[in-house]
Amino acid sequence: MYHLRLKGDHYEMGVKRGKIFNHSRITFPLQLDDFQLEHGKQSEEILRKFFPEVCEEIKGVSDTIRADYLHFASWMLCMGCCMYNLENNFPVEIRGCTAFAYSKNGKLIYGRNNDLPPYLRDGCKSEIYAPKNGNRFNITTSSFINGEEGLNEHGLAVAMTFVMTDLKKIRAGFNSCFIVRYLLEKADNTEQAVLLLCNLPIASNCNILLADKSGSMVVVECTPTIKKIREAEIFHGDRIVCTVNSFISDEMKPYDDANGNDYDSYKRYKVVMDSFSSGKIKDGYIEATKQLLKGNYGFMCQYDNEPDFETVWSSIFDLENLAIYRAEGDPRKKKFVSDNRLHNLKYK
């Protein structure tokens, strides 16, 4: 996993990343069909309206690697949206992931397993951003500029999980990974993040988990036409939210187009929720969260019968202390290592 630090003007941050790509001789499979190009063009207009700074960052990259900006931005906006459900697409996208947050005895903890094809593992990144006129944050990503999860300097955690969407239902808008980036940079707490999210045009189905150090936590179940706020559940006085690769709210289930092809999504959800309802999560919150992510309380990362799918990283955030622990690979095999960069940036 790469560990990059970026700060300052957005365009210059993009230039810095582009120089790294050039130095490493990294190229990109910008193979988009007419549908994807049109989706990308319309979505870029929306991204520029709400988040012009990130468009400048993308342009910094595309200028530096000498790629057409609109084509490059379109490719990024198709990720996790319409890069998986068109015939003969490359690369083929499949995504799992389990994310949860809980409040227990004044501790606010977030955990995640990020499940992807193993060819994406070596390119994953944990990055520290200190953008001009924006929140400082850590973002973890299998891509770049956008991401699957993160924690910002105000103790706000934001995470996405992928939900399958029928091609005919996709609309121009933010994909889930750009939602994560936008909210990390713009929001200070869960309430503010919900307000920002509810105003965003959404491209395809996804879940967005939001949790802050005050204990406020929700999952927003999103489609291009409707958003549903799912509140935390309470067990033994503790509060917990969890999101996987399906919609949990009964009214949102008809929008899920996976038809059960979601890597045991509901089984993972039930393991997380049962771990709290049964009282397995007691003292030693970080250690108990590690055990949950490792699959010691039930199926979470045991994709041994899936040759092209695995947990590529696991994360734990202590929201109040801005402490991050990460296993860079299958958590059954890799140790969780502390990442203090965000804490040190905030409290230096």
**Dist CA 72 CA 321 (whole Å):** 37
Q: Is the pLDDT of residue 260 over 90?
A: no
The least confident of 64-68, 104-108, 218-222, 271-275 is: 104-108
Q: Is the peptide bond before 131 cis (omega within 30 degrees of 0)?
A: no
Question: Rounded mean pLDDT of 40-44?
Answer: 98
Each domain of the chain, given as residue ranges in start order, spans: 2-78, 98-347
pLDDT digits (tens, 9 = 90+) for 203-250: 999 999 999 999 999 999 999 999 999 999 999 899 999 999 999 999
Question: Is pLDDT at 81 greater than 90 in this prediction?
Answer: no
User: How confident is the model at residue 119, as a pLDDT?
Assistant: 82
**Residue 258: pLDDT over 70:** yes
Share of the chain above pLDDT 70, in %: 96
Q: CA 111, 115, 119, 120 torsion: positive or negative? A: negative
Read off the pTM: 0.96
Pick from 58-62, 87-91, 164-168, 204-208: least confident:
87-91
* CATH of span 98-347: 3.60.60.10
- Give 263's pLDDT tier (boundaries 50, 70, 90): confident
Give the rounded percent of residues in the chain with a pLDDT score beyond 90: 82
Torsion of CA 189, 135, 59, 23, to 10 degrees: -120
What is the per-residue pLDDT for 95? 65
Which of 27-41, 214-228, 331-345 is the least confident region? 27-41
pLDDT at 52 > cutoff 50: yes
User: Over the chain, what is the mean pLDDT?
Assistant: 93
Q: At 218, is the secondary structure helix, strand, or coil?
A: strand
Given a cut of 60, is residue 87 above it in pLDDT?
no
Q: Are 303 and 263 in contact (CB under 8 A)?
A: yes
pLDDT band at 31 (very low <50, low <70, confident <90, very high): confident
DSSP 58: H
Query: Helix, strand, or coil here: 70?
Result: helix
Task: Answer yes or no: is pLDDT of 318 > 50.
Answer: yes
Kindly report the backbone phi and psi dihedral angles of residue 201, in degrees, each rounded to the nearest multiple of 5, phi listed first. -70, 130
Q: Tokens 């960069």 map to which residue?
A: 341
